[in-house]
Amino acid sequence: MMQLLADELENTSEIRVNAINPGATSTNMRSRAFPAEDPTSIATPESIMPLYLYLMGNDSLKINGQSIDAQAKKDQAAL
């Protein structure tokens, strides 16, 4: 879907379209949904914020139409 939107806007604007999947993140809403979960075992919003800031900055101007995971998947973390 992100690539489709990026393609639609490519010649008409300077808007870049990307999606970030934050993954499991320690928030009040998540702690209410999963009360038995240890909040220290998952990422904090602050720990994934650098990706958001990067995508808003000039260093990422060529990134468009992507769906990006903010956290490595558990099976990828061991690689």
* Per-residue pLDDT at 78: 46
For residue 21, the tally of other CB atoms under 10 A from its CB is: 10
Does residue 55 or residue 10 have the better pLDDT? 55
For residue 16, the tally of other CB atoms under 10 A from its CB is: 19
pTM attached to this predicted model: 0.79
For residue 71, the tally of other CB atoms under 10 A from its CB is: 17
pLDDT above 80 for 40: yes
> What whole-number distance in Å separates Cα of residue 24 and Cα of residue 72?
11
pLDDT digits (tens, 9 = 90+) for 6-31: 998 888 888 999 999 999 999 999 99
Element spanning 29, H or E: helix 28-33
The stretch 40-62 carries a mean pLDDT of: 96
Would you state the torsion angle of the CA atoms of residues 35, 36, 41, 44, taken in this order, to the nearest 10 degrees? 0
pLDDT above 90 for 73: no
Nearest-5° angle of CA 7, CA 13, CA 18?
A: 50
